[in-house]
Amino acid sequence: MIRPVGCVRHVRHVGYLVSGVLVGVPLLLGLLVLAVVGAALTPLLVGLPLLGLLALSGVPVGVLERRRLRLADPGKPVPGPHRTPHEPGLAAWARLRFTEPATWRELAYTVLLALVLWPLDLLVLTVAIGVPGAMLGAPVQLAVSGGDTRIAKLWLIDTYPQAALCAAAGAALLLVLLWPLALYGRARAALARLLLAQREDGQRLDEVTRSRARLVAAFEAERRRIERDLHDGAQQRLVALGMTLGLARLDAPPALAEQLATAHKEADQVLVELRELIHGIHPQVLVDYGLGDALADAADRSAVPVELDVDLPRCAESVESAAYFAVREALANVGRHSGARRAWINGRYAEGRLGIEVRDDGVGGADPSGGSGLTGLADRLAVLDGTLTVDSPAGGPTVLRLEIPCPVR
C-alpha cells in the first residue's frame, strides 16, 4: 500500500519528468538554430557572437534546472555554482563565466538534456503512464468509437465487459509502475544535481583563494600604512629634533655644546636607521618605478657584487612586493652564508608568469628547512600561487628560482 506522503513524493518526481519534456523540446530547437545560424555566419564574423551565446546557453538553463529540481525535492534547494564578478558590466561577467568550470558543466548538461535526457524522459513516461492511461480510458474510447477500438494499438476491444476489464488492468498496472517511475525520476534529479549544484570542495577552495587574496591585500595595505606613518610622523619629528639640537649648539656653552653635538649625532644615526627601516618595510622605489628598478636598488645595497639582467613590466603590487622581498632575502643569505664572491639576478616575464633567478658562486648547501628564511618566502609566494625552488648542492653554486602568475599592470 502506498502511503499518502510517498504518493505525493512520487507525483513530484513524475511532475519533474513531465516538465523536463516541456523544457527539452524548445531547448533542442533553440540550440539547433544557434548552432546552424552561428556556423553559417561565422565566415562573416557575425556568427561569432551567436556561437559565444551558444557556449553560454548553459547558464540560463542551469538556473531553470536548479529551480525545476525543487519539484523533485522542495527540501533541498540547489545553490548556484557561479561567483559574482568583481567588476560591473557585461564584459566582466562574460570573462568570469567563460573561465569557470561550472559554466562548461552546465553546457554539457544542456546538450545532454536537449539530445538525450528529455527523449528518454518521454519514452519512460509513455511506457509508465501512457499505456496504463490508454487502458484506463478503454470504456470511453469504446463509447466514442461506437463499435470496436484498439487500445494503445495493441488490443482490440469490442464489448463493455472487455473495456471494464482493460480499465481495471490499466489501474493496477499504473500503481505497479508508479514506484519504478519515481525511482527513475529520483535518479534523473540526482544526475542534474550532480552536474548543476555547487560543489562543496570547489566552494571551499574558491573561498580559501579569495580570503587568501584578501589577506595579501590587507597585509600590503598595512605595510604601506606603517611605512607612511613612520615617514610622515617619526621621521619628520627626528628631523625637527636634529634641527633644534643644531640650533641649540650655537648659543650653548662649550661643555653643553659638546653634549648637544653628541645628542645631535645620535639623532642623525637614529634617523639613518629609521630610513633604512622604512626602506625595508616598503621601498618607495618599488612603488614609484616598479620591480626592475627596485631590484637594481637591492643589488646596489647587497654585500656581494651583483650582476643584474632584468626586463620586467609593472605587475600587481602584491606580486612585485613578494618578488622583491624574496630577492632581498636571497641576497641577504648570499652575503651571510654562502661565502660567494659574486651573484647574478635574472628576471623575465613570459606567458603570464613572472620568473626571477638568483645565482651565486658560493659553497652551496643551502637548506630551505634549516631556518634560513626560505621557508617563509615559499609560504608567502604560495599565497599568490607562486613557487620557490632552491638548487644548492654542496660545493655550489646555489640557484634560487621563483615564479608567480600575474597579469601585467
pLDDT tens figures, 52-84: 888 889 889 988 998 888 888 877 777 778 777
Is residue 360 within 8 Å of residue 340, measured between CB atoms? yes
> Can you give the residue ranges of every domain in the chain?
4-198, 202-281, 284-405
Identify the pLDDT of residue 159: 73
pLDDT tens figures, 321-380: 888 888 888 888 888 877 888 999 999 988 888 999 999 988 887 766 655 566 667 777
For 155, the 3-state DSSP assignment is strand
* Cα three-residue angle 243-248-254, rounded to 5 degrees: 135
Distances (CA, A) of 154 to 84, 97, 134, 151, 284: 56, 51, 11, 6, 88
Give the list of residues 6+ apart from residue 403 with CB closer than 8 angstroms, or none: 353, 354, 355, 386, 387
CATH no., domain 284-405: 3.30.565.10
Q: List residues bridging with 150 in a β-sheet.
A: 156
CA dist 153 and 83 (Å) reads: 52
- Counting Cβ atoms within 10 Å, is residue 17 exposed (0-12), middle (13-18) or buried (19+)? buried
Q: How many residues does the chain have?
A: 409
- Express the helix, strand and coil content of the chain in percent, nearest 5 each: 70, 10, 20
Is residue 372 within 8 Å of residue 337, measured between CB atoms? yes
Give 178 or 159, the one with higher predicted confidence.
178
CA dist 18 and 11 (Å) reads: 10
- Counting Cβ atoms within 10 Å, is residue 408 exposed (0-12), middle (13-18) or buried (19+)? exposed
Strand 387-391 versus strand 398-405 pairing type: antiparallel
CA dist 279 and 271 (Å) reads: 12
Give the list of residues 6+ apart from residue 363 with CB closer than 8 angstroms, or none: 338, 339, 340, 394, 395, 396
Residue 371 φ/ψ region, left for φ over 0, alpha for ψ in the -120 to 50 degree band, beta for the rest:
left
For 208, the 3-state DSSP assignment is helix
The set of cell numbers assigned to 69 is 529540481
Q: What's the chain's average pLDDT?
A: 79
Identify the pLDDT of residue 85: 77
Which of 180, 177, 158, 159 minimizes the C-alpha distance to 169? 177
The set of cell numbers assigned to 136 is 484506463
Q: Name which of 22-31, 123-132, 267-276, 302-311 the model is least confident about.
A: 267-276
pLDDT tens figures, 264-288: 777 777 766 666 665 556 677 777 8
Phi (first) and psi of residue 149, to 5 degrees: -145, 155
The mean pLDDT value for 95-119 works out to: 90
CA dist 270 and 257 (Å) reads: 20
For 348, the 3-state DSSP assignment is strand
Residue matched to cell numbers 600561487: 385
Q: Name which of 30-39, 70-79, 118-127 the model is least confident about.
A: 70-79
CA dist 12 and 395 (Å) reads: 74
pTM assigned to the model: 0.51
Question: How many of the other CB atoms lie within 10 Å of CB of 130?
Answer: 14
Its sign, for the CA torsion 301, 302, 305, 311, is negative
